[in-house]
């Protein structure tokens, strides 16, 4: 039996965005604003945490969210305003090799989609400057839907929107929780670590040469 025989046919490939297609690091922004390493560590562990940011990804209003945090942590208004207005600085560039994979799949006429945990306002600003996503048939954005991965509802919504059965799609994500959530619903999955490993998996499935 060949390696390819081990896989079910894939009709469409579904990407996560952050840390799969683009680098993302909130600390990068605040390291520019907080000079003392110990204070920066405290701020990232207690004020602008990934868990707090996730609330915005899931649809919580940005203005309300920032105002509530400013009330909870007095004296950090300027830093929290920077979170709202300078989010683009948390995206330093593309994940090496991933955009090339997307373009090669598109050249082979493989249907491409995405499911991303991304706040609506931040997504619109980022998407406007990234033509790669013109290659995607549809993108489900958590902030628009007010549902975030790994909630089963966002995967079910995506399957309906994309028009393919979960078992016929390959979902690629860097988060183990998101991969487990998709797998439980019957999706084929690839737990992303780097583009080289992803390329080998796609090649084994016959999706890339």
**What is the tens place of the pLDDT at every residue in 67-85?**
999 999 999 999 999 999 9
**Domain ranges (residues) in the chain:** 4-24+92-204, 26-90
Distance CA 142, CA 56 (A): 9
What pLDDT, on the 0 to 100 scale, is given for residue 6? Answer: 63
Q: Taking residues 178-182, what's their average pLDDT?
A: 98
CATH of 4-24+92-204, one of 3.40.50.720, 3.90.870.10, 3.30.450.20, 3.40.50.1000: 3.40.50.1000
**What is the tens place of the pLDDT at every residue in 196-207?**
999 999 999 999
**What is the tens place of the pLDDT at every residue in 11-39?**
999 999 999 999 999 999 999 999 999 99
């Amino acid at each position: 039996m060949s390696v390819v025989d081990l896989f079910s046919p894939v009709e469409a490939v579904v990407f996560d965005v952050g840390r799969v297609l683009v680098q993302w690091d909130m600390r990068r922004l605040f390291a520019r604003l907080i000079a003392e390493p110990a204070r920066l560590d405290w701020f990232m562990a207690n004020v602008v945490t990934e868990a707090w940011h996730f609330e915005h990804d899931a649809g919580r209003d940005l203005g309300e969210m920032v105002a509530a945090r400013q009330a909870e942590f007095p004296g950090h208004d300027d830093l929290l305003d920077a979170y709202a207005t300078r989010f683009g600085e948390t995206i330093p560039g593309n994940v090496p090799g991933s955009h090339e994979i997307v373009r090669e799949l598109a050249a082979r006429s493989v249907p491409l989609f995405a499911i991303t945990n991304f706040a609506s306002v931040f997504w619109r600003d980022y998407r406007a400057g990234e033509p790669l996503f013109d290659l995607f048939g549809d993108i489900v954005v958590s902030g628009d839907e007010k549902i975030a991965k790994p909630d089963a509802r966002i995967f079910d919504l995506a399957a309906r929107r994309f028009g393919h059965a979960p078992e016929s799609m390959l979902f690629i994500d860097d988060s183990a929780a998101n991969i487990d959530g998709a797998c439980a619903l019957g999706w084929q999955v690839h737990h992303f670590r780097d583009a080289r490993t992803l390329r080998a998996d796609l090649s084994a499935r016959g999706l890339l040469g």
